[in-house]
């Protein structure tokens, strides 16, 4: 559960959890929706505790945990160290070639 209500530029703890196949529950605020897809690799809650509790209960009863886990791994893979390095090198190459 990612209970922070603060805006963050990047959800490192979300990606770290997903890299272990752990779906994440978080508030639908800031960049979290860039990483968490509701009922695909985790769950998003409105920015209040009551909705978070409701979503946690929904997640506990969710029957497709294995699908969530696989999707979480796939999401984290997009942000693996090697993928980020390759993307950065690609940016530099395009800059140098232009």
pLDDT in tens, the chain (98 residues): 988 877 777 889 999 999 999 999 999 988 898 999 999 999 999 988 899 999 999 998 899 999 999 999 999 999 999 999 999 999 999 999 99
- Which strand (E) or helix (H) includes residue 26? strand 24-27
Nearest-angstrom CA–CA distance, 25 and 38: 9
pLDDT, position 11? 80
Distance CA 97, CA 82 (A): 22
Confidence (pLDDT) at 85: 96
Token look-up 């960049």 returns: 31
The answer to whether the CB of 3 falls within 8 A of the CB of 49 is: no
The pair of structure tokens assigned to 31 is 């960049």
The two three-digit tokens of residue 35, written as one number: 């990483």
pLDDT at 21: 97
What lies within 8 Å, CB to CB, of 92 at 6+ separation is: none
């Amino acid at each position: 559960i990612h209970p922070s209500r603060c805006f963050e530029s990047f959800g490192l703890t979300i990606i770290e959890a997903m890299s272990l196949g752990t779906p994440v529950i978080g508030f639908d605020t800031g960049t979290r929706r860039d990483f968490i897809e509701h009922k695909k690799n985790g769950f998003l809650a409105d920015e209040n505790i009551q909705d978070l509790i409701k979503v946690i209960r929904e997640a506990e009863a969710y029957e497709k945990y294995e699908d969530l886990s696989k999707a979480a791994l796939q999401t984290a893979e997009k942000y693996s160290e090697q993928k980020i390095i390759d993307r950065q090198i690609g940016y530099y190459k395009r800059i140098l070639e232009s």
